Structure 1
Amino acid sequence: MTEREIVKMVQKEKSGPTDFSAVYWRKADPTTLQACYDKGFLRWNGDKLIVTPLGKRSCGGLR
């Protein structure tokens, strides 16, 4: 999963409990996204979940 693929999956949602099995993550691999989030590579920024600078290389490299 590349950073670009992750960014494409990011939808505008309220900042709340992160549930990667929710409908708006249906194209995502929940395990990969959760791992990225747990490592700090994905973070809420207002109402969007974004890839952090640290995650651009590390998270994008997860398969």
Structure 2
Amino acid sequence: MGTVKTLLIGLILGAAAGAALGYNHGRGAPLLSNPFAEYGAEEALLERAAELGEDARQRLREALE
């Protein structure tokens, strides 16, 4: 009975840790950060848009040379 109890506790703790890590991974946050912290989707979107714009400018300059 002790082995089954240990297995169930391990499964529950593993599922909780996996859910928190998966949630952080899905929103692009560091894995060990607080999953309940406010998520700045707007900031991430603006950063990505700036990166894409810079990449487009660089490719246009290369194409015109």
More helix by share: 2
Structure number with higher strand proportion: 1
| TM-score bucket (shorter structure) | under 0.3
The normalised TM-score by structure 2 is 0.24
TM-score normalised to structure 1 length: 0.25
User: 1 or 2 for the larger relative contact order (CA 8 Å, sep ≥6)?
Assistant: 1
Question: Which one has the largest radius of gyration?
Answer: 2
